[in-house]
Amino acid sequence: MQIGPIALHNRLFVAPMAGVTDRPFRMLCRQLGAGYAVSEMVTSRKELWGSLKTSRRANHEGEPGPIAVQIAGTDAAMMAEAAQYNIERGAQIIDINMGCPAKKVCNKWAGSALMRDEPLALQIVQAVVDAAAPHGVPVTLKMRTGWSDEHRNAVKLARDFESAGVQMLTVHGRTREQGYKGRAEYDTIAAVKAAVRIPVVANGDITHPEKAREVLAATGADAIMIGRAAQGRPWIFREVGHFLATGEHLAPPLVAEVRRLLLDHLREHYALYGDYSGVRTARKHIGWYVRALPGGEQFRDSMNRIEDCEAQWEAVGAFFDALGARMERLPVMAPAGDDGAHRDDSDALEESCSSAH
C-alpha cells in the first residue's frame, strides 16, 4: 500500500475523528495493528493556529511516520497556507476534509458541504496540491458519497480530484444528509474504485473482522478505515488484520493487557492535556473502554465525578483489578449490527467534529 512515494505498513487505517484521534490515541492504534492514522481536523483559519486546541492537534512528538494531518476550510488560499503551515511542522501527508457532516461545519460550507459546490471543491484541491508538491508531500482527501440521495457525485469528484493530483481517496459510505444514521452503502465506493487509478479507502460501519472482509470484497478498495469501532477497542486493528490473513479470530484480549493499555494511554493523555483538561477529556475514552464490561455503567457514573488525574488513574486500575479477579479475558463481544443501533456516540462526534471551527 502506497500513498505517492510513501509506503504503509498495512491497509488498516484509523479514521480522523475530532476530539478523539489525538496523538496518544493514534499511537495506541498504531501499536495495536493500524498501519496508518490521520490527525484530528485542523482548521485553516490562521487566527486559530496559535490556540491551545490547534497546538495540541499539531503535536506529533514521538509519533511514528508517516505523519498525516487533515485540514478543513472553505477558502482555497487559506487551505494552501494551512497545508504549508502543517508541512513546516512535520506533516508528511496532507488530507483534505470533505467528509465531516457536522451542521456547524457544513453551515460554513466546509467538510462534506464542499461536495455541493464542485468548482470550489476542485479549486481548493488544486491549491493544496500546488502548495504541497514542492515539498514532495502527497495530498489525500476524505469525502462522502454525495450531498444527498439525489446528489451522489462522489464518482465525478473522484475523477476530478485525481486529475488535480490527489494521490488517495477515502470514501465514507453515507451522504451528508445521513450524518451517522442508517446504513453505509458500498456500491458508490466500488464505483469510485472503478473510476480512478489511485488508491481508494472504504469507510463506514466496519465494526468487526467479517465486515472488514465483506467491505473489501464488495468495493475492491485498497484499504479500509475504521473510526467509531476503535473507540474503547483499539485492538480491533490487530483482530481485523489477523482475520484477513488467516480467516481465524483472535481470542479477546486479557484483562491485564487492557488494564495496562488503558493506564498507559491515560498517562500519555494527561501529559498532552494537563491536569485540568486531561481528567475531563479522558472520561469519554474510559467510558468507551468499560461500556460493555460487567459493572461498566456504574463505574462510568462514579468515574465522571472524579476531578483529579491521579485519582482517576487509580480508580481505573482498581476497576480492572476487580474485573481481572473475576475473568481472565474480556467477554466475547457480538458483532455490532448494521442497522445503526450501535451508534450511540453520533451526537457527541458531530459536536466534536464541529469544534475544529
- Whether 92 and 190 map to the same domain: the answer is yes
Place 146 in a pLDDT band, splitting at 50, 70 and 90: very high
Residue of 137, 128, 26 whose CA lies nearest to 73: 128
Place 60 in a pLDDT band, splitting at 50, 70 and 90: confident
> Within a domain: residue 352?
no
| Beta strands at 2-3 and 6-7: parallel, antiparallel or unpaired | antiparallel
Q: What is the mean pLDDT of residues 314-330?
A: 97
User: Are 125 and 139 spatial neighbours (Cβ–Cβ below 8 Å)?
Assistant: yes
The catalytic residue among 100, 106, 309, 353 is 100
Lowest mean pLDDT among 78-82, 246-250, 330-334, 336-340: 336-340
- Whether 239 and 271 map to the same domain: the answer is no
Residue 34 pLDDT more than 80? Answer: yes
> Within a domain: residue 333?
no
Residue 355 pLDDT more than 50? Answer: no
What's the angle, vertex CA 46, arms to CA 42 and CA 50, rounded to 5? 75
> Within a domain: residue 286?
yes
pLDDT of residue 61: 83
Could you say which of 247, 277, 298 is where a domain stops? 247
Residue 214 pLDDT more than 60? Answer: yes
Question: Tell me, what DSSP letter sits at residue 32?
Answer: T
> Within a domain: residue 338?
no
Which residue, chain included where needed, has cell 494527561? 270
- Whether 158 and 263 map to the same domain: the answer is no
Structural domains in the chain (count): 2
Which residue, chain included where needed, has cell 475523528? 17
Task: Give CA–CA dist 274/39, Å, rounded.
Answer: 20
Residue 77 pLDDT more than 50? Answer: yes
Q: Which of 42-51, 180-189, 190-199 has the highest mean pLDDT?
A: 190-199
Cα–Cα distance list, 101 to 13, 74, 246, 348 (Å): 20, 14, 36, 13
Place 53 in a pLDDT band, splitting at 50, 70 and 90: low
- Whether 92 and 41 map to the same domain: the answer is yes
Could you say which of 219, 247, 275 is where a domain stops? 247
> Within a domain: residue 157?
yes
Residues contacting residue 168 through CB under 8 Å, at least 6 positions apart: 3, 4, 138, 140, 141, 198, 199, 200, 201
Residue 351 pLDDT more than 90? Answer: no
- Whether 11 and 148 map to the same domain: the answer is yes
Instruction: For residue 224, count other CB atoms closer than 10 A to its CB.
Output: 23
- Whether 149 and 239 map to the same domain: the answer is yes
Could you say which of 191, 213, 247 is where a domain stops? 247
Residues contacting residue 302 through CB under 8 Å, at least 6 positions apart: 315
pLDDT single digits (tens) 161-175: 999 999 999 999 999
> Within a domain: residue 349?
no
- Whether 229 and 281 map to the same domain: the answer is no
> Within a domain: residue 354?
no
Residue type, 357: H
pLDDT of residue 113: 81
- Whether 260 and 206 map to the same domain: the answer is no
Higher-pLDDT residue of 49 and 14 is 14
- Whether 264 and 208 map to the same domain: the answer is no
pLDDT single digits (tens) 91-100: 999 999 997 7
> Within a domain: residue 311?
yes
Task: Give CA–CA dist 77/38, Å, rounded.
Answer: 22
Residue 107 pLDDT more than 50? Answer: no
Cα–Cα distance list, 302 to 21, 58, 221, 288, 291 (Å): 25, 33, 43, 15, 13
Task: Give CA–CA dist 160/176, Å, rounded.
Answer: 20
Place 109 in a pLDDT band, splitting at 50, 70 and 90: very low
- Whether 270 and 130 map to the same domain: the answer is no
- Whether 45 and 124 map to the same domain: the answer is yes
Residue type, 178: Q
309 labelled catalytic: no
- Whether 69 and 24 map to the same domain: the answer is yes
pLDDT of residue 47: 63
Q: What is the mean pLDDT of residues 106-134?
A: 85
Instruction: For residue 326, count other CB atoms closer than 10 A to its CB.
Output: 9
User: Are 172 and 142 spatial neighbours (Cβ–Cβ below 8 Å)?
Assistant: yes
Question: Tell me, what DSSP letter sits at residue 4?
Answer: T
Torsion of CA 321, 322, 324, 325, to 10 degrees: 120
What is the domain range of residue 319?
A: 255-326
User: What's the CATH code of the domain at 264?
Assistant: 1.10.1200
Q: What is the mean pLDDT of residues 303-330?
A: 97
Q: What is the mean pLDDT of residues 32-61?
A: 77
Cell numbers linked to 352? 466534536
Task: Give CA–CA dist 78/276, Å, rounded.
Answer: 33
User: What's the CATH code of the domain at 177?
Assistant: 3.20.20.70
Residue 105 pLDDT more than 60? Answer: no
